[in-house]
Structure 1
Amino acid sequence: MAIKSFMGKRAEPEKPAEVPMLVRDYMTEKLITFRDYENIMDVVEKLIKHGISGGCVVNERNELLGIISEGDCMKQISDSRYYNMPMTDLTVGKRMISNVETIDGNMNVLDAAKIFIEKRFRRFPIVENNQLIGQISQRDVLKAALRLKSHTWSY
């Protein structure tokens, strides 16, 4: 005797709603920026005051010129002390990284995570029409992952 099931055909599992995953959705837009003529010691004060590890260097038109980090500042201070050089002429322009890689704001944030891993950078500026519009950090990517986890991943 054949056994028949009366359950019927099972429905496809419901897919979770699509979560926006663009870099621009997670980037920081209100940035602490620096100018190339600023003194390194002033930058150090701002980094500490705002609890950040670096920032973008822009001109008066908000065009990206470079990035300055805690490490860049420490290198300048260390070199000045080691070589007994005055600390008065230590400007951002002399220590910033000028060849800056940026990320497209329309990129998927998980693709950006892969770039963070490959490049080992802590932050990437977002430039649109030659203007700095934001910055995405590793922490921003982690926030996106938490949001994604709450919608699609199970523990």
Structure 2
Amino acid sequence: MYARDVMSTPVITISTGATVRDAARLLVNSQVSALPVVDERNALAGIVSEVDLIRRVVGEFNDPTQLHAHLGSPDSQEVLSLTVAEIMTTAVVTATEDTSLDDVATLMLEHQTKRIPIMRGTGVIGVVSRIDLVKAMLSHGAPGAAAATPAPAPAARDDESLRLQVTTAIHRLGIPLGGTFDVVVRHGIAHLWGQVGSVEEDKACQMAAIKMDGVTDAISHMQVMPRR
């Protein structure tokens, strides 16, 4: 398997000129922990994460134990007014869509990073995170195992088509799924990820998937989190 098979798309990015406040809001609203940063040509310029934001705030106040006392203060507002370019990490480890999952996993371990932007030329077309690798392991077996018996290209295309159909069918149910919802289809088997509010919602999602012509089974990995 390759990066293109498991990467998260579409990519949520932010521009170098956006403010830290903009980045914080986008991180919260998108339920992601990091954002690729792009320049005016839409080329990758860096990455900004929750850690970058926290590190900058803690650095400004020196004493993290007193951080709560500074929230809402003029100093904290000044930090939020900085541009993303001023706090982002510029030494970004990347891979291409044709990079094997073994190599992606190696990059994560060697560079102690949680996510790898996937590039096509200078543009970001996806992101592979550690959870994406875990999903691949559960849905298809360990990364190395897939290399020995690669699926033919037509089957891969069929799986991608089914993934889009299943995703659309589940969204039509109107169930709040949150930003972590994802569907992985391997050899006609749909694997569902994310959060639902009840066992009944989980079952409904599975039924919507299994009704798709070409889907042979639907396996839920979704977490049931009752809503208040």
What TM-score, normalized by structure 1, do the two folds share? 0.75
Q: CA deviation at 1:81?
A: 3.7
Which amino acid in structure 1 is aligned with residue 115 of structure 2? R
- In the aligned structure 1, how far is the partner of 2:62 from the partner of 2:105? 38
- In the aligned structure 1, how far is the partner of 2:80 from the partner of 2:119? 32
CA contact (8 A) 1:110 1:141 kept: no
Q: CA deviation at 1:60?
A: 3.1
Which amino acid in structure 1 is aligned with residue 112 of structure 2? R
> For 1:83-104, what per-residue CA distance to the aligned partner results, in whole angstroms no more than 9, with x for missing partners?
9743364111011011211112
Which amino acid in structure 2 is aligned with residue 26 of structure 1? V
Q: Which has the higher contact order (CA 8 A, sep 6+)?
A: 1
* Structure 2: segments with no counterpart, 5+ residues: 64-73, 146-228
State the secondary structure of the residue aligned to 2:79.
coil
Question: Quick one: which of 118, 124, 131 aligns to 1:139?
Answer: 131
Q: CA deviation at 1:36?
A: 1.1
- The answer for the alignment partner of 2:224 in structure 1 is none
Report how many aligned residue pairs link the two structures. 132
- The answer for the alignment partner of 1:8 in structure 2 is none
Q: Does 1:74 align with 2:54?
A: yes
What TM-score, normalized by structure 2, do the two folds share? 0.53
- The answer for the alignment partner of 1:25 in structure 2 is 5
- The answer for the alignment partner of 1:98 in structure 2 is 90
- In the aligned structure 2, how far is the partner of 1:95 from the partner of 1:127? 22
* Structure 1 or 2: more strand by fraction: 2
Q: Kindly name which structure, 1 or 2, has the bigger radius of gyration based on alpha carbons.
A: 1
- In the aligned structure 2, how far is the partner of 1:88 from the partner of 1:125? 25
Q: Does 1:51 align with 2:31?
A: yes
Q: CA deviation at 1:77?
A: 2.0
What root-mean-square deviation, in Å, do the aligned CA atoms of Structure 1 and Structure 2 show?
2.3
